[in-house]
A = this chain, B = another copy of it.
Amino acid sequence: MSGSEFESLEKTLEKHIPDAELKEVKRILFGKETKKLALPACAVEAASARDFELQGYLFEASPEQLRPPRTVRVGLIQNHIVLPTDAPVLDQITALYKRIGDMVDVAAMCGVNIVCFQEAWTMPFAFCTRGKEPWTEFAESAEEGYTTQFCQKLAKKYNMVVITPILEREEIHNVLWNTAVVISNSGSILGKTRKNHIPRVGDFNESTYYMEGNTGHRVFQTQFGKIAVNICYGRHHPLNWFMYSMNGAEIIFNPSATVGGLSEPMWSIEARNAAIANHCFTCGINRVGTEYFNNDFTSGDGRKAHKDLGHFYGSSYVAAPDGSRTPGLSRTRDGLMVTEMDLNLTRQISDKWNFKMTGRYEEYAEELTRATKHDFKPNIIRE
């Protein structure tokens, strides 16, 4: 249950359900059929040789008279950690650089313009342990750390925007943050954005390590479109997605680390709801595999002390503003999802459905302001 035996929801449906009914099942579950994107043979071969799944999909928009299509190829990467969690810190990091470098190389073969890695991708997701050593050693400067430098090289080499979520050490005040650095395809640092909402649920005791982000809802204007990064637990907060959209985001990435027993039935709902509600593309990225730690830890749920926090179920996917979505990547394997999307779709769907026009935001701003006051009285009608 919620474990690693079950590889893919979509493949299971395809295996068992006859074609005519399958079409309806997929329409109801996943929306308008997402076309497969033809990927170069060299990429398919390299992914196979390097032992990761490669999927490609296409979101089209209607042709317009005054605007050319604005197509962008986005790559999502999900992966296991490479070395055990008790290997030397630098070895663990270096092994992940090698793995991610190999995967980004395939993304480049597929013409990817923007790539995003999973949350805290240079390390195991050790925050379940509540220990500080050696985990805080994985923290680095967003501006000058090895990882940012590594990603700058990738960005420049492949002419690719790189979103690199790390554990950040802000060295001036010596404070840790959960941060995504956005590297321009020129290789320069476009900026950083921090995780806005920090979980205190189950094994996700992250407020022991870092606090709520102080970078607001920044949107990064890249050569390929306006993007934002809603890190992990922020996907449970509809206001978070919304405010990135209000600042103009066309694609919102959600690099995550979450396990089957906790969140899997919510995974396909939240990012997709955000794509629909905000007329934008959203990209959910989750880790894969089970990570074991030397020190026992407890989960506050009455279970005996244990050494892992469960199975990270992968299932990374892209959701579109028209309610459609790609299948998920595997629940068990490393993977690269390449999606070509025409960003003109965001305005087209907005013009069709009008959620921003019909949103009544002035009234919500007032109501929300009132609701946060100490003397707030809820609007309750009694007999």
A380: which of B16, B27, B200, B226 is its contact (CB, 8 Å)?
A: B226
Query: Does residue A311 face the partner (Cβ distance < 8 Å to B)?
Result: no
Query: Does residue A42 face the partner (Cβ distance < 8 Å to B)?
Result: no
CA–CA, A371 and B357, complex, Å: 14
- Provide the A1-36 mask, 1 if CB < 8 A to any CB of B, else 0: 110001001001100111001001101111110000
CA–CA, A362 and B32, complex, Å: 38
Q: Is the interface of A mostly helix, strand, loop or mixed?
A: mixed
A291 to chain B, nearest CB (A): 21
Name A276's closest neighbour in chain B (CB-CB): B266
A254 to chain B, nearest CB (A): 14
A274 to chain B, nearest CB (A): 8
Quickly give the copy total for this chain.
Answer: 2
Query: Does residue A37 face the partner (Cβ distance < 8 Å to B)?
Result: no
- Provide the A231-244 mask, 1 if CB < 8 A to any CB of B, else 0: 00100111100110
Q: Which residues of B contact A188 (CB under 8 A)?
A: 383
Query: Does residue A95 face the partner (Cβ distance < 8 Å to B)?
Result: no
Q: Which residues of B contact A324 (CB under 8 A)?
A: 265
Q: Which residues of B contact A372 (CB under 8 A)?
A: 361-362, 365
Choose among A31, A220, A361, A380 the residue with the greatest number of B CB atoms under 10 Å from its CB. A380
- Asked if A30 and B361 make an inter-chain contact with CB atoms under 8 angstroms apart, the answer reads no
Interface residues of A in 364-383 (CB under 8 A from B): 364-365, 367-369, 371-372, 378-383
Query: Does residue A146 face the partner (Cβ distance < 8 Å to B)?
Result: no
| Partner-contacting stretch, out of A64-72, A122-130, A166-174, A210-218 | A210-218
- Asked if A29 and B219 make an inter-chain contact with CB atoms under 8 angstroms apart, the answer reads no
- Asked if A379 and B219 make an inter-chain contact with CB atoms under 8 angstroms apart, the answer reads yes
- Asked if B21 and A6 make an inter-chain contact with CB atoms under 8 angstroms apart, the answer reads yes
- Asked if A239 and B201 make an inter-chain contact with CB atoms under 8 angstroms apart, the answer reads no
A186: which of B201, B246, B383 is its contact (CB, 8 Å)?
A: B383
Report the interface size class on chain A. Answer: 35 or more
Name A331's closest neighbour in chain B (CB-CB): B28
Name A214's closest neighbour in chain B (CB-CB): B363
- Asked if A237 and B355 make an inter-chain contact with CB atoms under 8 angstroms apart, the answer reads yes
- Asked if B380 and A221 make an inter-chain contact with CB atoms under 8 angstroms apart, the answer reads yes
Given contacts A16-B18, A236-B277, contact A368 B379 (CB under 8 A): no
Given contacts A28-B268, A221-B381, A378-B246, contact A355 B239 (CB under 8 A): no
A6: which of B24, B272, B361 is its contact (CB, 8 Å)?
A: B24
- Asked if A360 and B212 make an inter-chain contact with CB atoms under 8 angstroms apart, the answer reads yes
> Can you name 9 extra interface pairs (CB under 8 A) apart from A16-B18, A200-B354?
A9-B29, A12-B17, A12-B24, A197-B358, A197-B359, A219-B380, A236-B353, A248-B378, A365-B369
Q: List 14 A-B contacts (CB under 8 A).
A: A16-B17, A32-B265, A197-B360, A198-B358, A212-B360, A220-B381, A221-B383, A233-B358, A239-B239, A243-B371, A246-B368, A246-B371, A269-B272, A368-B368
A-side interface residues toward B, CB under 8 Å? 1-2, 6, 9, 12-13, 16-18, 21, 24-25, 27-32, 182, 184, 186, 188, 190-191, 196-202, 212, 216-221, 226, 233, 236-239, 242-243, 246-248, 263-266, 268-270, 272-273, 276-277, 323-324, 352-355, 357-362, 364-365, 367-369, 371-372, 378-383
